[in-house]
Amino acid sequence: MAKVVGIVNLHSDVTYKGLTEKRPVASVSFLGRYGIIDFVLSNMSNSNLDTVGVLIKEKPRSLFKHLGSGSSWNFNSKSGGVSLLYNEKYANNAMYNHDINNLVENIAFIEKSKADCVVIAPAHIITTMDYSEVVDAHMKSGAEITMVYQKISNANETFVGSDYLRLKGKQVTEIKTNKGNRKERNISLETYVINTKVLLKLIDYAKKISSFFDLKDTLTYLCDERKIMAYEYRGFARCIDSYEAYYNVSMEFLDMDINTQVFKSGWPIFTNTNDTPPTKYLKNAKVKKSFVANGAVVDGEVEGCILSRNVVIGKNAVVKNCIILNGSKVSPNAHLENVIIDKDARIEKKKELIGEDGPLYVREGDVV
């Protein structure tokens, strides 16, 4: 059996408006109790990858706090556990702060692992991918590099700006950008299986081509020189690559048909546990089609919402189609629709907030 290590690659240009002003995409709250990174980490845990590195691009503080020792994701710490790989040397230099330079700075993580191959996956693309199946296909094909893709029929609406693969059989011949001008595309899920020795060579090669080349650039450049194979993933996949996508995908999870594709028996989604009391539903509470986390107190009408831990909805408040993060409070008789409220904010004076051209954003800690 091949020895495999996992790498979560947080080097992307994805941002979520004010939500990522002080935190990386990976630690943004999702569905009330998770961080976005929890899904890829859970996939690695469920795929029996016990040695995992997280390539951190920026704003590491909240990620350090969220991940801690990594024990919440059920990794075998005796086999490796989670390593947080931060490239402090280039953290404030946008052009040099990419995944290749991060790997160079933390090359000992790969070398000491003595792994046969490495699984590299992003956090902002949510899947329930079993990486062991991808590794098996990779090993059987004899490939040095395998790229995971999904064939979709709505590429004019989703994954716009992501890469797609041109294939000849199961071989990648070209990597292009999806501009949304066609419905059917073989969309790259930015998930790769690469033999360790080959990855080490790619890192050196990338530095010689261009100091600004990241891993995607390098693979695109090498398509006509190296045999890169493709693996088709047919399961659940959503790309949360913008503020609007964050809101839309979150709301989509309120549909049980979508929800049960991710939260299923035998494939747990792990996260940090918190010692918070059960949710309290008071006399005036009316809740429909919503996620409500522990510690929340509801005394108003909530419909189609996601409430994180310790959120308070005041008496007779009406809250619809909103995402409210940890510790925020909505005053009695307020009326909110299509709003994202960052943590520890308070809606007190301006009691009617309605997002009309997309979800309205209330910053962390603000009093409105």
Domain membership of residue 308 (yes or no) is yes
Q: For the chain, where are the alpha helices, taking DSSP H only?
A: 37-46, 61-67, 99-105, 107-113, 131-141, 196-209, 215-222, 243-252, 256-262
Token pair for 49: 């990858």
**Predicted confidence (pLDDT) per residue in 136-169, tens digit:** 999 999 999 999 999 999 999 999 999 999 999 9
| 353 has a pLDDT exceeding 80 | yes
pLDDT of residue 2: 84
Count of CB atoms within 10 A of residue 160's CB? 17
**Predicted confidence (pLDDT) per residue in 301-334, tens digit:** 999 999 999 999 999 999 999 999 999 999 999 9
Averaged confidence pLDDT in the chain: 95
- Note whether 258 and 310 are same-domain residues: no
Token pair for 61: 């503080």
- Note whether 94 and 193 are same-domain residues: yes
Rounded to an integer, what distance in angstroms lies between the CA atom of residue 315 and that of residue 313? 7
pLDDT of residue 343: 97
Mean pLDDT, residues 27-36 taken together: 96
pLDDT band at 275 (very low <50, low <70, confident <90, very high): confident
Of 80 and 20, the one with more pLDDT: 20
**Predicted confidence (pLDDT) per residue in 235-261, tens digit:** 999 999 999 999 999 999 999 999 999
**Predicted confidence (pLDDT) per residue in 206-241, tens digit:** 999 999 999 999 999 998 888 999 999 999 999 999
- Helices 196-209 and 215-222, axial angle in degrees (round to 10): 90
Q: Which of 235, 262, 289 is the last residue of a domain?
A: 262
Mean pLDDT, residues 52-56 taken together: 97
pLDDT of residue 48: 94
Q: Are 119 and 49 in contact (CB under 8 A)?
A: yes
Domain membership of residue 154 (yes or no) is yes
Domain boundaries, position 143: 4-262
C-alpha distances out from residue 308 to 31, 60, 267, 318, Å: 7, 22, 23, 17
- Note whether 172 and 243 are same-domain residues: yes
| 77 has a pLDDT exceeding 90 | no
Instruction: Report the domain count for the chain.
Output: 2
| 40 has a pLDDT exceeding 90 | yes
CATH code where residue 301 lies? 2.160.10.10
- Note whether 71 and 217 are same-domain residues: yes
- Note whether 285 and 136 are same-domain residues: no
- Note whether 193 and 305 are same-domain residues: no
Q: Which of 230, 262, 294 is the last residue of a domain?
A: 262
Q: Are 8 and 41 in contact (CB under 8 A)?
A: yes
For the chain, give the percent of residues with pLDDT over 90.
91
**Predicted confidence (pLDDT) per residue in 156-205, tens digit:** 999 999 999 999 999 999 999 999 999 999 999 999 999 999 999 999 99
Domain membership of residue 272 (yes or no) is no
pLDDT of residue 156: 95
Domain membership of residue 267 (yes or no) is no
pLDDT of residue 92: 86
Q: Are 119 and 196 in contact (CB under 8 A)?
A: no
| 71 has a pLDDT exceeding 90 | no
pLDDT of residue 1: 65
pLDDT of residue 274: 80
Rounded to an integer, what distance in angstroms lies between the CA atom of residue 149 and that of residue 164? 8
- Note whether 87 and 214 are same-domain residues: yes
| 348 has a pLDDT exceeding 80 | yes
pLDDT band at 273 (very low <50, low <70, confident <90, very high): confident
In sequence order, what are the residues at sequence separation of 6 or more whose Cβ sits closer than 8 angstroms to the Cβ of residue 283? 299
- Note whether 198 and 110 are same-domain residues: yes
- Note whether 212 and 294 are same-domain residues: no
Q: How far is CA 200 from the centre of its chain?
A: 25
CATH code where residue 84 lies? 3.90.550.10
